[in-house]
Amino acid sequence: MKNIFYLICLFPLLLSSCARFAYFTKTNKESVDNSGMPVKNIQFYNDRRIQLRRVVSSEEAKLIGGKIRFINGEYISIAYMRRFTPGICEEAPDNKLIVKFEDGYFRTFTFQCDQRDAFTYFKVGPNKRPDLAKEKLLYSIVADKYEHLKGSRYAGIVKYENLEYTLRFRLHHSPHYVGQAPFIPSLLVRRDRSLNFRLNRRRIKGKRIATS
């Protein structure tokens, strides 16, 4: 008969004890894989507010939902996601996590650790930081053509809804986790909730030679 027990998976914590959230790291992912727990069972959160922008035609602006602005002679479709919005992982190929924060086809973001091209850009950017090695362990959003807009605001190009959007984000300091957030938007998990999952275990009792 199979006995079911609960295994409590406690993540190594990057941040101080006063923080509500911790960044999900490459080491965390390896621990989850080794335990046999599906990464799809983990509740993820985004670490900051992000905004998606796309130029649309005047006809399309009348049909699509969401927020439309008229900026510099162009209609701009805008969608945004608040900090700590919950998301779930749909796939986990190689060192990537495909995470969905809302229903709908192709509405996913790709998060990846050790993004060498992105870190090279931010290393020579206006806000150079010495601890980029730590950021390589984080699962950060994948984007192309990073650009420094103004002050702490940045932008990159992402695929969403199978269309090209401009992803806008900014550096920020939050009381929910100590220190400056990483350059690129990254995934968080709750620190105050252990990841509980079930394993099936049975004892193999052995086989004796039958005696007459």
Distance, in Å, from the CA atom of 187 to the CA atom of 111, rounded to the nearest integer, reads 8
Task: Give a yes or no: residue 14 inside a domain.
Answer: no
Residue 79, domain member (yes or no): yes
Number of independent structural domains in the chain: 1
Which run of H or of E encompasses 59? helix 58-63
DSSP 98-164: EEESSSSTT-EEEEES--HHHHHHHHTSTT--S-HHHHTTB-EE--EEEEEEETTEEEEEEEETTEE
Specify if 57 maps to a domain: yes
Residue 210 forms part of a structural domain = no
Q: Is residue 205 part of a domain?
A: no
Mean pLDDT (10-residue bins), the chain, 212 residues: 38 46 88 89 93 86 72 86 94 93 94 71 50 68 87 90 92 51 82 53 66 70
At residue 25, the pLDDT reads 87
- Is position 154 within any domain? yes
| Token digits of residue 119 | 């870190």
CA atoms of 189 and 195, how far apart (whole Å): 10
pTM for the whole structure: 0.74
DSSP designation for 47: S
pLDDT at res. 111: 95
Identify the domain containing residue 47 by its residue range.
Answer: 19-192
In a domain, 32, yes or no: yes
Q: Is residue 212 part of a domain?
A: no
